[in-house]
């Protein structure tokens, strides 16, 4: 019937002034419903027709005042029937007739909208607009039943009875998006007392003033309490650290409870607002718009203007602690659009000398989709690295690459490719710098999940961008841009403390504990902490000479194992570890203690000098020792693998089947495998440690004479890859996938599938098979990987694909 509708509407209205034809392919889409919209406009006397169901069309339907049951115009009846078919509802077999089938389907649609029984000509105008859009009113796949319940409540309470005249029917598909957010805000505006003639769904001065008079708290009931809980639900989950906290909906109970207050405290802490568990204006604003309360404190900033020592001092005196500045500008000074936004020589030093932290930004245009391709991302990653080094930005700093426009959801896939290029470009220069993303909430979240962007810089000030409406704050947000000091505004709002000329400056909320920014510029001693720790390992190795003298018969060949054992004796010498590896001689630990060489629970290893993240050295060494003892590069998995990557993989598999079995294996891996923004049983740092453990074991396996200190120095410190500043650790994932699995995606998948299996494809040792059964003992029999069938393929391919992707992003051997 959709194909019939397409032919009919094109044949009937093809010569109408303004009409734009749709494709005749039998598929419903915007083109088809907009052609039907133009047909309805023509039948109602509007000319020329346009591809939009706006106020003129709405008023024309309203003025027509005929429900389908009373309609006499056969063409209008056809439009209504075809619209039902396009919406997925069965209509009359003869499109020019409105029969009981059509009416029954229309009744179903009204019920799906939450407005059952409200058959009147005023509501019909809004139903017609909903029919002739792509809005959905049935619960879509993976949509939330609670969200749909709220959507239907909004329609039944505020639209059906003409309570808010300007409000249209919100979709009831279970997804919180722009139209639902707008509908929620209009309902709130009504409940806080705005005159109905001023209710528009825009968060302006009137809404601000009214919300300041409507604080809600535990014990409040009624419709405003319900709407406040709805706003909380739409911002759920929030986070306590990296742990998600889901809002307790409590079956839609219109009362703010102790559970509401508890969640609210977590939300306020996560968004860096005052924590008190009440719905003050600041909290209302944070729940409803991406910038939140623009008047709240913000210690971060960014600007396109040069920061002089005087400006830096003024900013410090006014409470700013950090400033974002651009590493480069793609236009030459003679270009009419050149603005001179790039860091000047000596400016970075002036910033850090003032006590401000520097936030490095990178933007070459970035204002339209054409600016975002993988080759451009790759090139700009290389340029960003070069410019950062020129300005003395130290390794480990995060550079934010900008998506400076309202990117639509369907465009973000291409933007992700750009960031993959950025990652590859930075990786080929040694991955000295982390990369972050600046953009809307949706852009930041999707890019971070897909590419591992470390931090998100949210363009919250653009609160009417579609990418900020209907999307929660990204879990890895670091800065949220909320207010602009603009000296060119009317009236001007440029930042000044009275001693400097007004300057353009954006105020940002800078999240505690997130990106620390740059506090000092690059120094050649960046590897000194690691060098000192390698020297500490050498002291332990040297102490073995005295141990052999004290305990005759202890062999020289055991030196390396004793050194490895020392670094795991606090945390990895109980349970199964003494059986998997070996008991640690108490005499060895006592001997080291007598030499004032001890390891306490607070022992910390320097940050990885390549990835610039913390290293759990005790875990790393335990895994390395296991992989060395049971060293294997074949398809057969061993207990050594179980102490490292395979143990983590099995725990990750169990997490999928226990907690996320609503996701396919590939979807779960895309979201949670080695993703720095999402905690899981196999996080990014876990994978890095497992890769390093194998790579170090491989270096040690060359000869029993290779000492741990030699392997550490060779791996983390020695420039052996032919390029400046490139270490073996810069190719950790290439070395790991090639050395342990064979290098190719199919090779990786084969080892993983064999390790998880329990049949003909099981290549594990008997001891590893027993270990796997122990780790998976809590899963139901049908959840065991060897019973999962084809569903396991997506999980295996997801892990293998991410490993190869990480490897490909690293520099190739010279």
Same domain for 324 and 393, yes or no, is: yes
Same domain for 337 and 281, yes or no, is: no
Domain boundary among 288, 321, 346: 288
Same domain for 532 and 614, yes or no, is: yes
pLDDT per residue over 66-109, tens digit each?
Answer: 999 999 999 999 999 999 999 999 999 999 999 999 999 999 99
Q: Are 480 and 285 a contacting pair, CB within 8 Å?
A: no
Same domain for 458 and 600, yes or no, is: no
**What is the structure's pLDDT at 777?**
64
Determine whether 362 is exposed, middle or buried from the number of CB atoms within 10 Å of its CB (0-12, 13-18, 19+).
buried
Report the CATH number at residue 501: 3.20.20.80
Give the closest residue to 713 by CA, choosing from 533, 539, 526, 525.
533
Residue 141 lies in a domain: no
Residue 782 has pLDDT above 90, yes or no: no
Window from 98-102, 123-127, 320-324, 575-579 with minimum mean pLDDT = 575-579
Q: How far apart are CA 111 and CA 93, in angstroms?
A: 22
Residue 162 lies in a domain: no
Q: For residue 426, how many other CB atoms are within 10 A of its CB?
A: 25
Residue 155 lies in a domain: no
Residue 511: half-sphere exposure toward Cβ, Cα within 13 Å: 21
Give the closest residue to 654 by CA, choosing from 739, 536, 774.
774
> What are 359's strand-pairing partners?
324
Residue 574 has pLDDT above 90, yes or no: no
pLDDT per residue over 118-171, tens digit each?
Answer: 988 889 999 999 999 999 999 999 899 999 999 999 999 999 988 999 999 999
Same domain for 244 and 328, yes or no, is: no
> What are 240's strand-pairing partners?
243
How sure is the predictor about 769, in pLDDT bands with cuts at 50, 70 and 90?
low
Cβ partners under 8 Å of residue 723, min gap 6:
430, 811, 814
Q: How far apart are CA 790 and CA 260, in angstroms?
A: 42
Rg (CA), the chain: 31
Same domain for 720 and 768, yes or no, is: yes
Window from 207-221, 223-237, 668-682 with minimum mean pLDDT = 668-682
Q: How high is the mean pLDDT of the chain?
A: 90
Q: What secondary structure does DSSP assign to 193-225, as a single string?
A: T--GGG--S---HHHHHHHTT--B-TT-BSHHH
Domain boundary among 260, 288, 316: 288
Residue 146 lies in a domain: no
Determine whether 613 is exposed, middle or buried from the number of CB atoms within 10 Å of its CB (0-12, 13-18, 19+).
middle
DSSP 8-state symbol, 697: H
Q: Are 393 and 431 a contacting pair, CB within 8 Å?
A: no
Same domain for 495 and 562, yes or no, is: no
Structure tokens at 92: 């009359």
**What is the structure's pLDDT at 775?**
58
Characterize the bridge pairing of strands 238-240 and 243-245.
Answer: antiparallel
**What is the structure's pLDDT at 709?**
86
Q: For residue 163, how many other CB atoms are within 10 A of its CB?
A: 14
Q: How far apart are CA 43 and CA 19, in angstroms?
A: 13
Q: Are 411 and 369 a contacting pair, CB within 8 Å?
A: yes
Q: How far apart are CA 331 and CA 801, in angstroms?
A: 38
> How many domains, the chain?
4
Residue 234 lies in a domain: yes
Residue 760 has pLDDT above 50, yes or no: no
> Domain limits at 518?
300-522
pLDDT per residue over 64-77, tens digit each?
Answer: 999 999 999 999 99
Across 444-464, average pLDDT: 95
**What is the structure's pLDDT at 676?**
84
**What is the structure's pLDDT at 106?**
97
Same domain for 514 and 535, yes or no, is: no
Same domain for 278 and 412, yes or no, is: no
SS (H, E, C) 372-391: CCHHHHHHHHHHHHHHHHHC
Q: How far apart are CA 482 and CA 506, in angstroms?
A: 7
Same domain for 329 and 362, yes or no, is: yes
SS (H, E, C) 585-648: CHHHHHHHHHCCCCCCCCCCCCCCCCCCCCCCHHHHHHHHHHHHHCCCCCCCCCHHHHCCHHHH
How sure is the predictor about 724, in pLDDT bands with cuts at 50, 70 and 90?
very low
**What is the structure's pLDDT at 778?**
63
Residue 188 lies in a domain: no
pLDDT per residue over 673-695, tens digit each?
Answer: 999 888 899 999 899 999 999 99
- Against a cut of 0.75, is the pTM above it? no
**What is the structure's pLDDT at 814?**
52
Same domain for 534 and 512, yes or no, is: no
Same domain for 118 and 241, yes or no, is: no
Residue 169 lies in a domain: no
Report the CATH number at residue 220: 1.10.101
Across 36-59, average pLDDT: 96
**What is the structure's pLDDT at 488?**
85
SS (H, E, C) 396-448: CCEEEEECCCCCCHHHHHHHHHHHHHHHHHHHHCCCCCEEEEEECHHHHHHHH
Q: For residue 793, how many other CB atoms are within 10 A of its CB?
A: 15
- First-to-last C-alpha distance (Å) of the chain: 62
Write b or e for each residue in 689-719: b if 16 or more Cβ atoms lie within 10 A of its Cβ, otherwise e: bbbbbbbbbbbbeeeeeebbbbbbbbbbbee
Give the closest residue to 57 by CA, choosing from 71, 43, 74, 78.
43
Residue 154 lies in a domain: no
């Amino acid at each position: 019937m959709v194909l019939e509708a397409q032919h009919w509407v094109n044949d009937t209205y093809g010569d109408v002034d303004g009409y734009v034809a749709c494709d005749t392919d039998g598929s419903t889409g915007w083109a088809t419903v907009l052609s039907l919209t133009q047909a309805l406009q023509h039948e109602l006397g509007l000319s020329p027709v346009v591809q939009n169901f706006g106020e003129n069309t709405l008023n024309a339907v309203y003025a027509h005042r005929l429900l389908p049951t009373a309609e006499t115009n056969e063409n209008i009846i056809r439009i209504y029937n075809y619209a039902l078919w396009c919406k997925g509802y069965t209509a009359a077999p003869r499109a020019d007739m409105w029969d009981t089938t059509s009416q029954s389907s229309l009744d179903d649609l009204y019920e799906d909208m939450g407005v059952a029984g409200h058959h009147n000509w005023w509501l019909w105008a809004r139903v017609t607009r909903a029919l002739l859009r792509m809005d959905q009113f049935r619960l879509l796949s993976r949509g939330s039943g609670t969200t749909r319940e709220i959507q239907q409540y909004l329609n039944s309470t505020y639209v059906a009875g003409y309570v808010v005249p300007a409000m249209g029917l919100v979709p009831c598909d279970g997804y919180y998006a722009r139209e639902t957010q707008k509908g929620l805000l209009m309902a709130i505006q009504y409940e806080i007392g705005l005159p109905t003639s001023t209710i528009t769904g825009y968060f302006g001065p009137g809404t601000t003033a009214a919300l300041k008079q409507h604080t809600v708290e535990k014990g409040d009931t009624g419709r405003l309490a319900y709407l406040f809980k709805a706003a909380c639900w739409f911002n759920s989950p929030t986070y306590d650290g990296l742990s998600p906290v889901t809002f307790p909906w409590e079956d839609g109970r219109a009362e703010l409870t102790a559970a509401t207050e508890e969640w609210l405290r977590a939300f306020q802490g996560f968004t860096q607002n005052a924590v008190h568990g009440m719905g003050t204006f600041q909290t209302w604003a944070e729940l409803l718009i991406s910038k939140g309360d623009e008047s709240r404190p913000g210690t971060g900033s960014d600007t396109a203007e040069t920061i002089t020592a005087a400006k830096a001092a003024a900013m410090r005196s006014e409470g700013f602690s950090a400033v974002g500045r651009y590493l480069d500008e793609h236009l030459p000074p003679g270009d009419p659009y050149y603005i001179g936004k790039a860091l000047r020589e000596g400016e970075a030093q002036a910033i850090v000398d003032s006590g401000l932290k520097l936030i490095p930004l990178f933007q070459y245009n970035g204002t339209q989709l054409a600016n975002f391709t993988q080759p451009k991302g790759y090139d700009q990653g290389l340029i960003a690295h070069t410019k950062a080094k020129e300005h003395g930005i130290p390794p480990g700093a995060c550079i934010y690459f900008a998506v400076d426009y309202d990117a639509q959801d369907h465009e973000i896939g291409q933007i992700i490719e750009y960031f993959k290029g950025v990652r590859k470009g930075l990786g080929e220069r040694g991955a000295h710098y982390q990369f972050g993303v600046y953009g809307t909430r949706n852009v930041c979240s999707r890019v971070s999940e897909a590419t591992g962007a470390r931090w998100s810089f949210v363009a919250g000030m653009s609160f009417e961008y579609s990418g900020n409406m209907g999307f929660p704050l990204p879990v890895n947000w670091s800065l949220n841009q909320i207010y602009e000091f603009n000296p060119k505004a009317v009236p001007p709002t440029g930042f000044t403390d009275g001693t400097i000329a007004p300057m353009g400056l954006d105020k940002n909320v800078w999240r505690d504990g997130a990106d620390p920014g740059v506090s000092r510029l690059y120094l050649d001693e960046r590897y000194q902490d690691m060098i000192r720790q390698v020297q500490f390992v050498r002291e332990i190795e040297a102490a073995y000479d005295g141990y052999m003298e004290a305990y005759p018969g202890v062999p020289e060949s055991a030196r390396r194992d004793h050194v490895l054992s020392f670094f795991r004796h606090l945390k990895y010498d109980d349970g199964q570890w003494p059986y998997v590896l070996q008991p640690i001689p108490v005499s060895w630990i006592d001997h080291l203690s007598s030499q004032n060489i001890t390891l306490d629970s607070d022992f910390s290893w320097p940050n990885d000098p390549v990835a610039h993240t913390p290293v759990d050295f005790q875990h790393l060494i335990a895994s390395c020792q296991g992989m060395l003892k049971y060293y294997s590069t074949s398809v057969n998995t061993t207990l050594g693998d179980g102490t490292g990557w395979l143990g983590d993989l099995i725990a990750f598999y169990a997490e999928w089947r226990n907690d996320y079995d609503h996701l396919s294996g590939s979807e779960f891996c895309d979201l949670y495998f080695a993703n720095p923004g999402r905690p899981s049983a196999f996080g990014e740092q876990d994978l890095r440690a497992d890769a390093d453990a194998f790579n170090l074991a491989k270096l040690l396996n060359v000869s029993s004479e290779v000492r741990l200190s030699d392997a550490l120095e060779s791996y983390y410190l020695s420039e052996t890859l032919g390029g400046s500043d490139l270490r073996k650790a810069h190719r950790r994932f290439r070395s790991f996938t090639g050395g342990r699995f064979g290098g190719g995606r199919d090779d990786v998948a084969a080892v993983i599938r064999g390790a998880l299996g329990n049949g003909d494809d099981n290549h594990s040792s008997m001891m590893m098979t027993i270990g796997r059964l122990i780790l998976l003992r809590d899963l139901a029999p049908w959840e065991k990987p060897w019973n999962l069938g084809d569903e396991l393929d997506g999980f295996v391919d997801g892990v293998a694909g991410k490993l190869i992707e990480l490897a490909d992003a690293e520099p190739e051997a010279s």
